[in-house]
Structure 1
Amino acid sequence: MVLNTSKILEVGDWLLRQALAEKPPEVMLEALARKLNHVGIPIDRCRMAWSTLHPLFEAETVLWTADRGISTNRFPHQEEDTDEWLRSPIKWMLDHSETFMRARLEGHGPLPFDLYEELRADGYTDLIGLRTEMFTERSVLPLRADDLGLYVTWATRAPGGFHDTVVETLRQLQRYMALLCKLNIYPRLITSVADTYLGPTIAHEVLSGRIRLGSGSQVRALVWFSDLRDSTGLAEDLGEDRYLALLNDYFDCAGRAAVEAGGEILAFIGDAVLAIFPIREGETSESEASDRAVGAARAARAACQIVNRRREAAGEVPFEFGVAMCIGDVRLGNIGIRQRLSFSVIGPSVNEAERIEKETKRLGIPVLATDEVASCDPAQWQPIGRFTLRGTHHETALYSLRLDDAGAQSDRGSSASRNPSPRNEKASTVAMTGTMGSSSQG
């Protein structure tokens, strides 16, 4: 078989242009498969997989088939030891440090992997797998022991399978594909890590170049602040392991509810959760942000009741927490020194939310908010009076969220309420600081 060398070089040059244009892998892969068929390389299926840095997912994949087009998938971390993974050709290549493999699928003899059997049953005659490491120990993102690199498989239904010339051509194109994926995946990996540790809003600020001391921007938002009751006492009474388990149960109630409702967690401050629901003109109104935040508070309270029943059934102590909400302008910006910066959210609204949360404990009311929040949907709120918040010289009107039975438990029955001020739980926070705190496998 003779391939047009100039056409192959054109494909390689096209891949380089795609890399510079930062085209998504799924867009590139479908176009590449069609280009290869156009120059005489019979491709009926191709799949790309690469490792990612994500708290939920171990790897991402893009699959193209001639009859079904493009599909994408992510593989959770917990799936890495499934039978499917352990019996996959990717796992075999990693275990044996191989960068190339080939499977001729025609015939009726036994095949070593389930994937090969599936492909044979679907009419495929040949498959090759290629793996290229994209990072080294010197990279900003160094090579990990479980790093796939770029893993690509090509399959055909052509009688007799791939000609050896085609196999060699695909091996040469692998380097172009690895470069393209590295240029595309690097930013995605960095963005994923930044989103995980900083939250999308702060991550965008940092990655947009606001990295000088004092730089930042102002954002209007609903500030959502939650704090665990009697944390110091619980930590002393339970011991490290049991308290850590309780803390994670609490974060899973409060933090998860805020994120799933569309909020962004800016920081875990000890045992407190600071989140915002951004308000952007033309995108999210104050009323919409309030609806989401209220939904988060209700979900957090309901989850708390479920988790506490489970904890008590297991002989563990229950926990309680308060939630405070207010609306205002907050400033996102760098504080610290030039050699070590922390991107923080500061402003009167942040301080106000923290101080209102203290009132949830003193008054024994689980969820409190200001007039700006309550006025978005007055039917959900009950006015309880005007209060002078700690550190202020004016009165603030506060409203209690009307809770249904699932979330109506009052702090008055909790251990924190029975001992109103057993210990100084936490110093007042003036600036809240953001911390860097299934298809077949082949």
Structure 2
Amino acid sequence: MTAAYDTSEILIDKVSDWLKQASLRNTDLETVVRGCCERLAATGIPLKRIHISLSMLHPLYRAMGFTWRPGEGLKVEGYRHVEPGEEKNDLFLKSPYFHLLSQGIENLRRRIDVDTQPEFPIFEDLKKEGITDYLAFVSGFDEEWTQGILGSWSTDRPGGFNESDIAALLRIQSRLAVATRVAVLSQLAGNMLTTYLGTGAGKRVLSGQVQRGDGETIRAALIMTDMRGSTAIAEQAGRQVFIDTLNQFFDAIATPFSEGGAEILSFLGDGFLAVIPCARHRGPSEIACRQALAAAHSAVARMTQLNDQRRADSLPEVGYGIGLHVGNVMFGNVGLRDRLTFSAFGQAVNEVQRLENLSKKYKTPIIASDEFALYSGGNWKMLGTETLRGTDYDMKIHSPIEGGKGTVTEYVPASKARELTDAEQLILLHRDKYLMNRRKAS
């Protein structure tokens, strides 16, 4: 039988210190778990298998699972949300973890004997790996234990864990619970900000752009969409049917833009505003506009499929409009001191909204500005010249055509300089005040 030496407390202190530092640095969840496993193995504890599961708030996953084995590294799994009507995992109900949760206890240790009937089905798999000893634990992040960490330590050493191993593992699992909770909360913040603000805006907020007036001017291809006849659908079909219709509409029309590189900044009732940021040169502007145009064509095709299906189901068609533009926008925080929104503002945003609204007048799904049509290439039909509401200059507007010779060859900018909107001026005012105060403080 292999001698079971006592675990070094000095080395365990090092693992504990690393987890503490990982918590302070907001280290990501996967790095925390992998780093803990590798460092524990380096202390000399004969770990054959480590499993960690964490419940978390995420749009797609209800929990994340991590399994580590020496020489194999870390395997990561996501456990998707269980939809209504789907069966719950029977294996979990027969697992040591469920036993811990149902009995309200924090630790469970079992020797894995090859000659006895296993208490839990998972022990059959552990036998095949040569596991001799198993120590499971649970640590809740709240009083109801709706969120928390579940885990197990396993060894294949003859005789199993000794007392110093168990003492070290119990100590580390407490520190690991703290580090993973910090990582989960940080990841949760990122998930929520990305879900509700969009990827770019979420990153900006996490990076510290949280004060009223924080922002920057960016150039971007702009997309505005709107659903037609939504009021009639809501009044005639009822709330739930309208919500389902709205989700179908967004799935069809917004997905191509999201997958095509656009950042959806906000859903405005039954429409949305999206941007594809680009540099201020012609080349990047062309790339962004072509991405937006390709996504718009895909959105039209998806809406056609949706309406075909709705007709087959004896449901009314969903009308819509898409406005496309390119220009400079103010990107940042505006609002009350204790209630802010992070979005894009400026004359170009107002213009793309007016362009989208013109799709009603010209009875075409896509309306683009002269500048967007030039940058995006392709074939376009000029619909006319419009003085957009809120402006005092003319703008040529276009709709895309298949084939033909309608390519835009030149762009004539507005004759008068565009003035900053109230929102832009507000952001600049607060930004200048913030910079002045910071200079005084330094």
Structure-to-structure mapping, 1:417-436, within 5 angstroms: none
Segments of structure 2 that go 5 or more residues without pairing to the other structure are 404-420, 425-442
Structure-to-structure mapping, 1:351-362, within 5 angstroms: 351-362=350-361
Aligned match of 2:71 in 61, 67, 71? 67
Residue 126 of structure 1 pairs with residue 125 of structure 2: no
Shift of residue 402, structure 1, vs aligned partner: 3.4
User: Which residue is equivalent to 2:242?
Assistant: 243
Residue 12 of structure 1 pairs with residue 16 of structure 2: yes
Deviates more, 1:293-302 or 1:19-28: 19-28
Aligned match of 1:41 in 40, 45, 48? 45
Segments of structure 1 that go 5 or more residues without pairing to the other structure are 137-142, 405-428, 433-442
Shift of residue 216, structure 1, vs aligned partner: 2.1
Deviates more, 1:269-278 or 1:160-169: 160-169
Shift of residue 192, structure 1, vs aligned partner: 1.2
- SS of the aligned residue for 1:41 comes to coil
- SS of the aligned residue for 1:379 comes to coil
Shift of residue 326, structure 1, vs aligned partner: 0.7
User: Which residue is equivalent to 1:191?
Assistant: 190
Give the structure with higher Rg (CA).
2
Q: Deviations over 1:146-185 (max 9, x none)?
A: 31x1222222222233224312220111111122223323
TM-score of the superposed pair, with normalisation by structure 1: 0.82
Structure 2 Cα separation of the partners of residues 256 and 295 of structure 1: 12
- SS of the aligned residue for 2:47 comes to coil
Structure 1 moving runs of 4+ over 6 Å: 429-432
Structure 2 Cα separation of the partners of residues 431 and 58 of structure 1: 39
Deviates more, 1:317-326 or 1:3-12: 3-12
Structure 2 Cα separation of the partners of residues 144 and 394 of structure 1: 61
RMSD over equivalenced CA pairs, Å: 2.8
TM-score of the superposed pair, with normalisation by structure 2: 0.82
Q: Is the contact made by 2:257 and 2:295 (CA closer than 8 Å) also made in structure 1?
A: yes
Residue 95 of structure 1 pairs with residue 99 of structure 2: no
Q: Is the contact made by 1:268 and 1:274 (CA closer than 8 Å) also made in structure 2?
A: yes
Structure-to-structure mapping, 1:159-308, within 5 angstroms: 159-280=158-279, 285-308=284-307
Structure 2 Cα separation of the partners of residues 4 and 119 of structure 1: 27
Deviates more, 1:343-352 or 1:71-80: 71-80
Q: Deviations over 1:254-280 (max 9, x none)?
A: 222221222221111111111111224
The verdict on how the C-alpha distance between 1:29 and 1:294 changes in structure 2, with shifts beyond 3 A counting, is: same
Q: Is the contact made by 1:12 and 1:173 (CA closer than 8 Å) also made in structure 2?
A: yes
The verdict on how the C-alpha distance between 1:125 and 1:277 changes in structure 2, with shifts beyond 3 A counting, is: same
- Between the two proteins, the alignment pairs up a number of residues equal to 399
Deviates more, 1:341-350 or 1:96-105: 96-105
Q: Is the contact made by 2:293 and 2:376 (CA closer than 8 Å) also made in structure 1?
A: no
Q: Is the contact made by 2:9 and 2:168 (CA closer than 8 Å) also made in structure 1?
A: no
Shift of residue 219, structure 1, vs aligned partner: 2.1
Structure 2 Cα separation of the partners of residues 120 and 158 of structure 1: 13
Residue 107 of structure 1 pairs with residue 114 of structure 2: yes
The verdict on how the C-alpha distance between 1:333 and 1:41 changes in structure 2, with shifts beyond 3 A counting, is: same
The verdict on how the C-alpha distance between 1:69 and 1:211 changes in structure 2, with shifts beyond 3 A counting, is: closer
User: Which residue is equivalent to 1:326?
Assistant: 325
Residue 53 of structure 1 pairs with residue 60 of structure 2: no
One-letter amino acid of the structure 2 residue matched with residue 203 of structure 1: G
Identity of aligned residues (%): 31
Q: Is the contact made by 2:100 and 2:137 (CA closer than 8 Å) also made in structure 1?
A: no
Structure 1 Cα separation of the partners of residues 33 and 214 of structure 2: 40
Shift of residue 348, structure 1, vs aligned partner: 0.9
One-letter amino acid of the structure 2 residue matched with residue 228 of structure 1: M
Structure 2 Cα separation of the partners of residues 32 and 215 of structure 1: 38
Greater RCO, 1 or 2 (C-alpha within 8 Å, sep 6+): 1
Structure 1 Cα separation of the partners of residues 65 and 13 of structure 2: 26
Structure 1 Cα separation of the partners of residues 341 and 28 of structure 2: 32
The verdict on how the C-alpha distance between 1:253 and 1:144 changes in structure 2, with shifts beyond 3 A counting, is: farther
- SS of the aligned residue for 1:11 comes to helix
